[in-house]
């Protein structure tokens, strides 16, 4: 079974700062998802990646398959980025479903 670790668990930063959230996993995967859970509880998919790097607006996600590690970066952070960011991996050829990390609680102060 894949073990998914996220760091940091909590992060408070000032508006405008560059944010990095890390995700590591123990077993080879076929894909990795980054999700955002708003303070109101809704969950939105940010990225799904299996290699390399993806960018959407101020968000960038990278993955290093050899090192079993992914990062989510937020440039020019804004208070509306305050949310819980969750990493989830697809392993076992999909038979194990999605295994989730415990999330990173991000607060961006104005």
Instruction: Kindly list the residues in this chain that would bind another protein in the complex (CB under 8 A).
Output: 30-31, 33, 35, 37, 41-45, 48, 50, 84, 86, 88, 90, 94-98, 100, 102-103
Instruction: Give the shortest CB-77-to-another protein separation in angstroms.
Output: 21
- For the chain, how many residues are written? 110
Smallest distance from the beta carbon of 31 to another protein, in angstroms? Answer: 4
**Nearer to another protein (CB atom), residue 47 or residue 108:** 47
| C-beta closer to another protein: residue 72 or 86 | 86
Q: What is the C-alpha to C-alpha distance for residues 81 and 36, in angstroms, rounded to an integer?
A: 9
**To the nearest whole angstrom, how small is the minimum distance from the Cβ of residue 4 to another protein?**
11
* Letter string b/e over residues 68-100, b meaning 16 or more CB atoms within 10 A of that residue's CB: bebbbbbeebeeebbbbbbbbbbbeeeeeeebe
Instruction: Give CA separation, 83 vs 2, 76, 108, in Å.
Output: 25, 15, 9
50 vs 64 by CB, closer to another protein: 50
Cβ closer to another protein: 4 or 108? Answer: 4
- 104-109 and 19-25 strand pairing: unpaired
């Amino acid at each position: 079974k894949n073990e998914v670790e996220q760091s940091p668990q909590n992060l408070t930063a000032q508006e405008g700062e560059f944010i990095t959230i890390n995700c590591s996993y123990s077993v080879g995967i076929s894909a990795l998802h980054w999700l955002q859970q708003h303070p109101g509880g809704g969950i939105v998919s940010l990225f799904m990646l299996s290699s390399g790097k993806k960018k959407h607006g101020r968000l960038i996600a990278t993955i290093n398959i050899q090192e079993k590690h992914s990062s989510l970066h937020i440039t020019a952070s804004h208070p509306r980025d305050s949310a819980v960011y969750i990493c989830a991996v697809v392993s076992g050829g999909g038979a194990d479903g999605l295994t989730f990390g415990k999330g990173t609680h991000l607060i961006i102060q104005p």
